[in-house]
Amino acid sequence: MKLFAVFGNPIAHSKSPILHNYTLYKLKINARYCRYLLDSSKDFRELFFSLGLSGANITIPFKEEIAKICDEVCGIAQKIGAVNTIINKNNKIIGYNTDALGFYKNIESKNIKNALVLGAGGSARAIAMILREKNIDVIIANRSKKNLIFFDKKGFETCLSDELSKSTKEFDIIINATSSSINDTLPLQKDILESLFERSKIAFDLMYGKKCKFLESAKEKGLDTIDGAKMLLYQAIPALSIFTNIDESRIKPHMEEIYKIINKEN
Ligand code: NDP
């Protein structure tokens, strides 16, 4: 039996095991997918191999650190410098990033010309990179400087979140790619956020599975809102395809089926 897992901290909220296990079962693949609460990425290589995993997803806050320990990083993950999907190929760890396209599928039908990304972690990197590839102007704002350096080096416009109080720019979309919603807080000061919402059209929060203050506040200001549920689905389909070598077209109907069941419950 093949084993897969999702590593992160926190991890209890993750719906990835439900999506993957249901689809593996439906495709009659002898495999299981579990979640693993990771304290630190130190010794991750040894852990990954000792657990006998064929592949794994990586989530908050380890995507950049695990990218650094991969033997090879493929596709857009090279530019992003963060991986959410890894496989064991002949005892080498190969890393991929399916978050970028997973995010973009949510907005591709919308007429978006510019975006504000809040947060500068692994997911923000994926989102900023795909937006730039699609010729959408992006500003990255983060509460602290350190994680912004990556974006500065890549030529993105960046600022500290507090500096947004001086901005008068209008945004087609504001994306909360911080982990604030997991902790039930707003990603930046309420008055600054409300002022940004007053001149924006869509609010997107990567969080899924529960109400969050960011989207509630956006709704009050009349914005269209999108949560992270479909991003989870759209990153999981290619991830399972990478794990199993099965075409995405065979995976998609089963994942969509269980996605609908999960979202009816919420
Ligand atoms: P990281 O840990 O890599 O980055 C977290 C970012 O959030 C950092 O920029 C950090 O700032 C910022 N941050 C953390 N807490 C707060 C807060 N209270 N207020 C303001 N900023 C804060 O996480 P990821 O990028 O991997 O993930 C971010 C979120 O996106 C998580 O909630 C994750 O679950 C979700 N996610 C959802 C997906 C989906 O499919 N729906 C896919 C991927 C991620 P600093 O740099 O100062 O520490």
- How much of the chain, in percent, has pLDDT values that exceed 90? 96
In this prediction, residue 169 carries a pLDDT of 94
Q: Catalytic positions, please?
A: 63
Ligand 1 atom closest to the Cα of residue 144 is 47
Residue with the smallest CA separation from ligand 1 atom 12 is 178
d(CA 146, CA 201): 29
105-156, pLDDT tens digit by residue? 999 999 999 999 999 999 999 999 999 999 999 999 999 999 999 999 999 9
Cα of 177 from ligand 1 centre, angstroms: 5
In this prediction, residue 67 carries a pLDDT of 98
Question: Which CA distances in Å does 59 have to 43, 45, 56, 67?
Answer: 17, 16, 10, 12
In this prediction, residue 266 carries a pLDDT of 54
In this prediction, residue 265 carries a pLDDT of 53
Q: What tokens appear for 218 in the block?
A: 């956006």
In this prediction, residue 73 carries a pLDDT of 98
Cα of 124 from ligand 1 centre, angstroms: 8
145-197, pLDDT tens digit by residue? 999 999 999 999 999 999 999 999 999 999 999 999 999 999 999 999 999 99
CA-based R_g, the chain, Å: 18
Ligand 1 atom closest to the Cα of residue 13 is 34
Say if CB 28 and CB 247 are below 8 A apart.
no
Banded pLDDT at 209 (limits 50, 70, 90) = confident
In this prediction, residue 210 carries a pLDDT of 86
